[in-house]
Structures are given as C-alpha cells and as structure tokens.
Structure 1
Amino acid sequence: MSEGITGTDVLFVLLGAILVFAMHAGFAFLEVGTVRRKNQVNALIKIITDFGVSTISYFFIGYAVAYGVDFLVNAAVLSGQMEAEGYAFASNGYDLVKFFFLLTFAAAIPAIISGGIAERAKFWPQLIATAILTALIYPFFEGLVWNGNFGLQETVETLTGASFHDFAGSIVVHAIGGWIALGAVLLLGARKGRYAKDGRVNGIPPSNIPFLALGSWILCIGWFGFNVMSAQSIGGISGLVAMNSLMAMVGGIIAALVAGRNDPGFVHNGALAGLVAVCAGSDIMHPIGALATGAVAGTLFVFAFTYCQSRLKIDDVLGVWPLHGLCGLWGGIAAGIFGLEALGGLGGVSFIAQVVVSLLGCAYALIAGFIVYGLLKMVSGIRLSEEDEFIGADLSIHKIGAYPEEDLR
C-alpha cells in the first residue's frame, strides 16, 4: 500500500478503536445503573482496571496467540520505517492501531462478565481471571475464527462448502463472553437475599435508570465503530453494515418494548440484544433480514432473562448470558439464515457451518468459564464474605462510596 492509503487506513482503524474503547464507558454505566448504590464505585473501577489488565495481557501474550505477532522489536520496525527478519509491519504504524482495535474487542470479554458477577465477586481474583481470559482463552478462539489457526476454517469450508462467518463477533466476542460469564455466575451463586427459602424471587431494583439508559446509549453509538470498522480498511467500508446495524438495533428496541411491557431495562437492553445478534452477518444480510434478526434477539432477551432469573434461579445481575451468550448464539445462526441469497443476503455462508461452529464456540466458552473460575474458587475464593457483601463492594473493597457526603451523615 502507498503511504497515503496506509495513512488513511490508520486513521480509519484508529477512529474505530476509539469508538469501541468508548463502549467500555457504556458497559460501566449500564452496570452502575443496574446494581445497588453500594456497588456503583466497584462497577466503575472493575471496568477500567479490567481494561488495563487486558491491555497488558493481550499485548504480551494474547495477540501472539491469536495472530502470531509480537511487539518485541524496536519502534522503527513497529512503525514500518524499517524491516527486520521475522517481522513485517505496515507503514504508518497500521499494525499498531489494528492491535488497539482488536484489543478493545478482547477487553470486552471481562467487561461482559463484570455485569453477571456484580455485587458479590472479589476484586483481585476477577483481575486474575481477566488476565487469563485475555491472554489465552479468548485469543485462542479468536485465532481459530479470524486468523484461520489450526486449519479450522479450511476444515469447515471443506465439509460444508463455506467457512464460518462472523464479521464482527457475535460468537467470537459476545457469545464467548456471555458463556464464560454463565460459568462464573453459577460458581458464585446468587446474591444474598435474592431467592427466599420458599422459592420466591425477591426483587432487587436498579439503582439508577438514567445511568442504565446512558450506558445503553453509549454502547449503541460505539457499536457502529464495532461493526462498520471491522472492515479494518477504508476501502472495505460498507454502508450495508451500518444500515444492518441500525435495523437490528431498532428491531431489538421495538420487540423488547412489546415483549417487556414497556419496562425501561428491557427496552434499553433490547437495543443491545439486536446489535449483539447482527454482528456476525451485518456485512451480508439484507436490512429486512437484519431487522428480523434484531427483533428475534430483543424478544429472546426478555423471555430468557425472565426465565433465567425466575425459573432457573440464576442470579445473572445484568443478564449477560441472555444478552451476549444467547443473543450472540442466535446471531451466529442468523448469519447462516438471512445471509443466504434466497433470503436477500449476499450468500457465501453455510447454515450448517454457522450452527455447528456457533455451538462449539459456546461450549468452549462455558467449559473455559468453569475451569478458570473453578480454579480461582479453589485457590483464593471468588466471592466476598457475607459481611462485605452486606456492606457493599464500594466500602468493603474501595473504602469509599459513590456518594461520600452521605456516608458521613
């Protein structure tokens, strides 16, 4: 590539990285608005420190696991100004902003998990889990799908006629994060007082609906960087991805509004459910197919969240398994339905490939979640003491609440 074209691509990917980085503020405020006031500071601290740990783990280990690239060479080589044996970095530092962009995806894994384990998880064991997940667990699957490691995509294409298609991460990011979170939530157990001995579900209302809504809005805006800029070059940008993201988002909103009977939590998460589901096929679907994908996802989230909390007695605080795990799984499958030419899509996908690899990805993540959090539970414990949980993570871990003046009264 000429220097001018590369410089444009660097700016394009950098802007995408910044947009997805901003989504982590959305994760934070979505959690802040959902948890009780005594756990709001902890929500904010978890998201930003998880990002810091993810950066270090992904820089030194994870990126090499996924793409076979390390950064242990001088800055002239990294920026593409000179060559070195065994290293091939593009000019203008393109590969560096590409790392930044893909890092924001990797860091979404602990940000997703954070919402499920909120209000009763220990702080330092969670950071250790973050390091393991972003150094090894997530990059391994990322490399299988997005870098063709170990011949998985070649094998799938040989058997089904098409490789597994996940343009922006319905499975690679969201389903992986959501199903790991399920393992963590099950090992942690429910919050104290959530379920009575007679089986009744005790309601724990959100602390701040405006913060919850703000988190959803920030995520929705950043998602257009998440999806559109997954092209990773200005020449690959497609308005179809933007349109499909928009249609899936509004499909999720309207479906969740109806299915959730005007509940604001369902409505704002419905938008996210639609966006999670459309990631995989946003580059190949017809907008009407994307609308249908989002509508199914919004409905799925409402009913799965309710069933999970009330019937299965799984205390997933933000509903990250229904939102990211199940809607992500639906998105991987939906790409194999609405991406078909017969349904107005661009084609080049196999329904069988989408179903099989999507299910394999979810199974891999669930097993990994049980292993990582199970080992931490045995070694250090992963849950706050009953007293610390009663006091709240803010004061018991960080020694300050979200409203310090009120604590002095």
Structure 2
Amino acid sequence: MSNSISQVHSAVQTLTQSSDTLFLLLGAIMVFLMHAGFAFLEVGTVRKKNQVNALVKILADFGVSAVAYFFIGYWVAYDANFFASAETLSAGNGYELVKFFFLLTFAAAIPAIVSGGIAERARFYPILLATLFTVGFVYPFFEGIIWNGNLGVQNWFESTFGAGFHDFAGSVVVHAVGGWIALVAVIFLGMRKGRIRAGKHTNFAPSNIPFLALGAWILCVGWFGFNVMSAQTLNGISGLVAMNSLMAMVGGILASLLAGKNDPGFIHNGPLAGLVAVCAGSDLMHPLGALVTGAIAGAGFVWLFTLLQNRTKIDDVLGVWPLHGVCGAWGGIAAGIFGQEAFGGLGGVSFTVQLLGTILGIVVALVGAGIVYGTLNKVMGLRLSEEDEFSGADLAIHKISAVNEE
C-alpha cells in the first residue's frame, strides 16, 4: 500500500515539474517574441536609411545578452552557474534551465529598450560592448537585490517598514532600469543632425506606420507572457494578473488616444506605457486601479515625449525614457498606491518602500550606465561620423539598404 502511495506521489511530482517547465518555457518563448516587437517598433519609427540597422541591432544585442547573462549576469544576480554536467543541469525536467531562458529574455530587454533611444546615429560594435556590460553587470546587480534578496536590502526594507520592495514582473527591475540606462546613452550621443533648423526643433516623421503598429501589437500580445508567466509555476498563475494587464493596456490606449489627438505613434505606444506601469503591481491591484495606472502612464508618456521632442536637446528617438524609464518608475510607485487594501488591492505593500526601491533602481541605472557609456564614449566613441549618419546606418554599417529601389 505504502509503495503504491509512493508511486502516485512520485508521478504527481513528475507531472508538476514537467508542467511547470512547459509553462515557463511558453512564457520564455512569448517574451522572446517581444523582441520582434521591439525591432518592428523601431523599424517603423526610424527613417528608411536606418531600418536594416534597427533589425540587426536588436538580434545582435540578443546574442550578446545571452552570452553575457549566461557567463556573468545570472551568476551576479542568483549566484548560480551552468558549469556542471548535462545530467545535473537537466534534473527536474530542466526547470532551472528554462528559468534561465525566461529571465534571459527579461535581461535582453535592456539593450532592446536602449536601442530605440539611440537609433540612427550610434556606432554598432561599441553599442554591442555596452550591451555586454549592462546585461552582464548593471542590470543583474539590481535584479539580484530585488528578486534574489542580495546585499540584504530587501531584508532591511521588511524589518524597517514591514514590507519588501514589490515588483512582480519588472516595472522597475526591467523597464525603469532599461529606460534610465537609455537616457544616459542618449545624452552621450547627442541630437541627430538636422533636428534643429533655423533655431527650431524639427521632428522626423515615422517611416512606416504599419511596421510601427505591428511592433506594438507583438509587444502587447507577448506582454501577457511577460506578466502572467512571471508566476514561474502553474500553481502560482493568477487571472488577476491577466485582467490587470488588460485593463492597464486599455487605460493606456484610451489616454493616449485623447492626449495624443489621434496620432498613430502615440496611440500605439499608449498601451505599451500602460503595460510597463502595471508590471510591478499586476498581482496586487484591483482592475480599476490597473485601469487608472495605465491611463496615467499613457497620458504621461504623450506629454513627456512631446516635451522632450519640442523643448529639449534630449533626442530620444522612440521615447524609451518616457515610456520605460518614467512609466516604469510610476509603476513601481503605483504598486504602493493601488496595491493597498484602501484602494481595493490585496495589501502587503508599503508606499515608502516602493518609492525608495524605485529610486534605488534609478540610481543603479544612472551610475552603471554613466560608467559603461562614459568609458566607451571616451575610449572608442559611440557616435557615427557625420558622413555616415547622413548616409544612414544601413549603408554605413551593413552596406545594404532596406529596400532595393531598382
């Protein structure tokens, strides 16, 4: 009898492990697909002479990110490595390997975010080196603090304020960090040639609205893997996360529609702003709180991107600092507001901690990016020559254009 019970228990355990592995693998594939969304969003926004570069850069960045995270970043964040036999690594249906794949797709989002900000005037290989260092060191340093309890920061938050920093799917860990890293890179690169004419700002129109829209749609769909599957196990899956992701996305759409005055670029970035903002508290908020969170993010993105483009010398091509950096920071703080029981949330979160943790993420991003991009800019130079920028990154770097006009 006891032997039969043991066999049943073993079978259930095996089924659970294999189900969790498949669940997380599907999540990893969905987030991996999001990188196609990043690529086409950039392709549709930049001028035609820089479209090939946008596609190549995103894919090359993913390759560099995978190597950097495999050998360095995962070890920095989780004190784990893969220097063991294949038999050891594949234990438990290889769940830990799939977990790495899933978390890698998050890490690789950092250079994908940066890519949109620095488009049309960045040199190719210095930027790939920057990817190596940001994914290998800067991002996993903060990732480990928040998601693995490194350096005792989370313990201090809990003992001092009664709650740790809550970031379920990466509003701050991924998006804010990526967006603030991008801001530093954008400042080092400076404005694109031709943006200032006769003392006034000139905006370059998107080259291909259908590609821009395709990128936004791919990102929106993949985001449900990004958020829902951050549970990492079937047992932890929550319909609340899916519903809140949906409502925040809708809030971003409607707010950007109104604030952006029907502009297709704003309308397709609005849902992304809402999804960025809801990542942190998607497992805590009431759907109405998620709707408000997304709406504030959508309207805020339109306002801040317009301000940057028309009033400052910060030439952020896709608006990745407003979209990911600022909306991601808002998401970290919003989790401390709409996650409270008083606002219909599940509770167990501290506004003070959410504010402090968000600030910490921004500081890590700014300091880390300042070191990485500042050093590379001094040693190698980050920007294309004026002649190459005029010709376009496609011909200057890849020796081919996106469309053969012959």
Tell me which residue corresponds to 1:107. Answer: 108
Counterparts of 1:395 and 1:131, CA distance in 2: 25
Counterparts of 2:58 and 2:355, CA distance in 1: 32
- Structure 2, unpaired ranges of 5+: 1-11
Out of 16, 21, 28, which is 1:10 matched to? 21
Counterparts of 2:203 and 2:343, CA distance in 1: 43
Residues 332 and 358 of structure 1 are in contact (CA less than 8 Å); yes or no, is this contact kept in structure 2? yes
Per-residue deviation, 1:197: 5.2
Tell me which residue corresponds to 1:188. Answer: 189
Q: Secondary structure at the match of 1:313?
A: coil
Tell me which residue corresponds to 2:132. Answer: 131
Residues 168 and 226 of structure 1 are in contact (CA less than 8 Å); yes or no, is this contact kept in structure 2? yes
Counterparts of 2:363 and 2:305, CA distance in 1: 20
Tell me which residue corresponds to 2:4. Answer: none
Residues 44 and 211 of structure 2 are in contact (CA less than 8 Å); yes or no, is this contact kept in structure 1? yes
Per-residue deviation, 1:308: 1.3
Tell me which residue corresponds to 1:339. Answer: 339
Q: Which amino acid in structure 1 is aligned with residue 310 of structure 2?
A: S
Q: Secondary structure at the match of 1:32?
A: helix
Q: Secondary structure at the match of 1:121?
A: coil
Counterparts of 2:136 and 2:27, CA distance in 1: 22
Tell me which residue corresponds to 1:170. Answer: 171
Give the aligned CA root-mean-square deviation in angstroms. 0.8
Structure 1 residue runs of 4 or more that deviate by more than 3 Å after TM superposition? none
Counterparts of 2:256 and 2:362, CA distance in 1: 24
Counterparts of 1:56 and 1:368, CA distance in 2: 19
| Bigger Cα displacement from structure 2, 273-282 vs 131-140 | 131-140
Q: Which amino acid in structure 2 is aligned with residue 348 of structure 1?
A: G
Count how many residue pairs are aligned between Structure 1 and Structure 2. 395
List per-residue Cα deviations over 1:260-300 (Å, max 9, x = no partner).
00000000000000000000000000000000000000000
List per-residue Cα deviations over 1:191-249 (Å, max 9, x = no partner).
00112352x11121000000000000000000000000000000000000000000000
1:208 aligns with 2:219: no
Per-residue deviation, 1:360: 1.6
List per-residue Cα deviations over 1:287-341 (Å, max 9, x = no partner).
0000000000000000010111112221100000000000000000000000000
Per-residue deviation, 1:76: 0.2
Structure 2 counterparts to residues 8-407 of structure 1, below 5 A? 8-80=19-91, 91-196=92-197, 198=199, 200-403=200-403, 405-406=404-405
Residues 201 and 311 of structure 2 are in contact (CA less than 8 Å); yes or no, is this contact kept in structure 1? no
Tell me which residue corresponds to 2:6. Answer: none
Per-residue deviation, 1:158: 1.3
Counterparts of 1:34 and 1:119, CA distance in 2: 10
Counterparts of 1:60 and 1:186, CA distance in 2: 30
Q: Secondary structure at the match of 2:17?
A: helix
Counterparts of 2:388 and 2:359, CA distance in 1: 38
Q: Secondary structure at the match of 2:196?
A: coil
Residues 195 and 313 of structure 1 are in contact (CA less than 8 Å); yes or no, is this contact kept in structure 2? no
Q: Secondary structure at the match of 2:120?
A: coil
Residues 281 and 334 of structure 1 are in contact (CA less than 8 Å); yes or no, is this contact kept in structure 2? yes
Residues 190 and 313 of structure 2 are in contact (CA less than 8 Å); yes or no, is this contact kept in structure 1? no
Q: Which amino acid in structure 1 is aligned with residue 357 of structure 2?
A: V
Per-residue deviation, 1:366: 1.5
Identity %: 69
Counterparts of 1:53 and 1:355, CA distance in 2: 32
Counterparts of 2:233 and 2:181, CA distance in 1: 31
Counterparts of 1:303 and 1:363, CA distance in 2: 24
List per-residue Cα deviations over 1:120-169 (Å, max 9, x = no partner).
00000000000001111100100000000011100011111110000000
Q: Secondary structure at the match of 1:168?
A: coil
Residues 183 and 367 of structure 1 are in contact (CA less than 8 Å); yes or no, is this contact kept in structure 2? no
Tell me which residue corresponds to 2:5. Answer: none
Residues 255 and 298 of structure 1 are in contact (CA less than 8 Å); yes or no, is this contact kept in structure 2? yes
Residues 138 and 369 of structure 2 are in contact (CA less than 8 Å); yes or no, is this contact kept in structure 1? no
Residues 187 and 370 of structure 1 are in contact (CA less than 8 Å); yes or no, is this contact kept in structure 2? no
TM-score, length-normalised on structure 1? 0.96
